[in-house]
Amino acid sequence: MPKIKKVLITEFGDESKLAIVESDIADPASGQVQVAVEYSIVAGSDVNMRRGLYPFQKKAPLTPGYSVVGKVRVNGNGCSKFHVGDRVACLSKYDGQAELINLPERFLVPVPEGADPKQGVALILDWMTAYEMLNRAANVQSGQKIFVHGLSGGVGSALLALGKLLGAEVFGTASQSKHEELRKLGATPFSYADKNWISAMQQIGGLDAVFDPLGYPSFDESYSILKEGGIVIVYGFNLRGLTKAPPSSVVLPMLQFLSKNLLFWHHKRTKFFGITRTSEYFGPDLTLLFEWLKAGKINVPIKGVFKLSDIQQAHREYHKSAGRGSIILEVNP
């Protein structure tokens, strides 16, 4: 039974509750593949898990790691789809920030030769969330107007790039220091705090789709800038992680938000989106993104790259406004 190093959230709290520990890992069970992890990411979900704020999460102690790219080490009984040494990707949700991980073979997606694995690991969660919200949940079309909160974040950067590929006009919020860069990328940015974006979007007739990872109270604000027939898609409660606000229940805000769908005379819709690897679209959509990455059709911005031993600093970086894109964790590159 091999020994591995992994991240452990020892208890819920600040970055000091993250530790690197040594542990055993069992052989892969039937239907599982053991993967030597090369890269994972640190996303808002990991930060909220560390604080005990992620909806319906495991109790501490736990090992986070929502996505992995690595190479097949051992095939369990009944597994023959991949050979030892093949590079694969997986939406793992837990246990990805470890040197080895056992994963169900049916959820593994091949990483094509020529696709950068460091950029590729950001596709699995951040870019897949953006792609499926745009194409599956909101059905954004060329010429439509969309609004993205957190334009410079991991998912926000992906929404901007993929939205432009679809031919959408992209507006959104970001820190003031990012505005010039975002304008060069084709977005119209606003600062969230001054709320000027609300009146500006209402004056142009509203948006076809708004993508909101912040949580209450921004839900109502996002709803207010929709046009008739528009949709707000919420996919996180990251405002609490960014501001280090005290823990609070998400149940009531979720119910209040979804109840807006009862106001059918407004002709506006609300929806919560959560990425799932069991979706029939997940494998084909991720395969498409890997092909686009390989072909140079998309480029994944990286905010920072950290070694496994620097996991506390990686979490601190999440709260900083410097940089744009995803935070990559080098586990065993």
pLDDT tens digits along 237-272: 655 555 555 555 555 666 665 555 555 556 788 888
The mean pLDDT of 194-216, rounded to a whole number, is 93
CB 84 within 8 A of CB 75: yes
pLDDT at residue 268, as a whole number: 84
Q: Do 264 and 135 share a structural domain?
A: yes
Compute the radius of gyration of the chain from its Cα atoms.
20
What is the DSSP code (8-state) at residue 168?
-
pLDDT at residue 302, as a whole number: 96
Q: Do 23 and 103 share a structural domain?
A: yes
Q: Do 268 and 134 share a structural domain?
A: yes
Cα 243 from Cα 218, distance rounded (Å) = 14
Does residue 188 sit in helix, strand or coil?
A: strand
pTM over 0.85: yes
Q: Do 87 and 24 share a structural domain?
A: yes
What is the DSSP code (8-state) at residue 139?
-
Task: Provide the CATH number for the domain around residue 245.
Answer: 3.40.50.720
Cα 88 from Cα 68, distance rounded (Å) = 8
Does residue 292 belong to any structural domain of this protein? no
Q: Is the pLDDT of residue 227 over 90?
A: yes
Q: Do 262 and 173 share a structural domain?
A: yes
CB 87 within 8 A of CB 69: yes
> Cβ atoms within 10 A of the Cβ of 272, count?
14
Structure tokens at 92: 């793992």
Q: Do 260 and 153 share a structural domain?
A: yes
Structure tokens at 45: 């979900």
Cα 150 from Cα 212, distance rounded (Å) = 8
Q: Is the pLDDT of residue 117 over 70?
A: yes
For residue 70, what are the CA distances in angstroms to 44, 111, 280, 312, 315? 22, 9, 23, 22, 22
Q: Do 225 and 314 share a structural domain?
A: no
Q: Is the pLDDT of residue 55 over 90?
A: no
Does residue 84 belong to any structural domain of this protein? yes
The mean pLDDT of 86-91, rounded to a whole number, is 98
Cα 16 from Cα 6, distance rounded (Å) = 15
Q: Do 145 and 248 share a structural domain?
A: yes
- Residue 209 structural domain: 129-272
Average per-residue pLDDT for the chain: 91
For residue 176, what are the CA distances in angstroms to 38, 150, 237, 324, 330? 34, 12, 22, 13, 30
Does residue 284 belong to any structural domain of this protein? no
Does residue 17 belong to any structural domain of this protein? yes
Cα 90 from Cα 70, distance rounded (Å) = 9
Q: Do 56 and 29 share a structural domain?
A: yes
The mean pLDDT of 34-54, rounded to a whole number, is 93
As for how many domains the chain has, the answer is 2
Cα 223 from Cα 230, distance rounded (Å) = 9
Does residue 181 belong to any structural domain of this protein? yes
CB 254 within 8 A of CB 236: no
> Cβ atoms within 10 A of the Cβ of 145, count?
22
Q: Using DSSP, how many helices (H) and how many strands (E) does the chain show? A: 11, 15
CB 186 within 8 A of CB 163: no
Cα 61 from Cα 63, distance rounded (Å) = 7
What angle (nearest 5°) sits at the alpha carbon of residue 158, between those of residues 291 and 205? 130
The mean pLDDT of 8-14, rounded to a whole number, is 96
Does residue 148 belong to any structural domain of this protein? yes
Q: Do 263 and 174 share a structural domain?
A: yes
Does residue 119 belong to any structural domain of this protein? no
Structure tokens at 260: 């807006």
Structure tokens at 263: 């106001």
Task: Provide the CATH number for the domain around residue 98.
Answer: 3.90.180.10
The set of residues, in sequence order, having a beta carbon less than 8 Å from that of 320 and lying 6+ positions away, is: none
pLDDT at residue 262, as a whole number: 52
Residues 264-289 have pLDDT tens digits of: 556 788 888 989 999 999 999 999 99
Q: Do 311 and 235 share a structural domain?
A: no
| Domain end position, chosen among 232, 252, 272 | 272
Q: Do 305 and 209 share a structural domain?
A: no
Nearest-10 Cα torsion for 53, 37, 313, 94: 10
The mean pLDDT of 29-40, rounded to a whole number, is 98
Does residue 116 belong to any structural domain of this protein? no
Cα 71 from Cα 57, distance rounded (Å) = 27
More confident residue, 236 or 313: 313
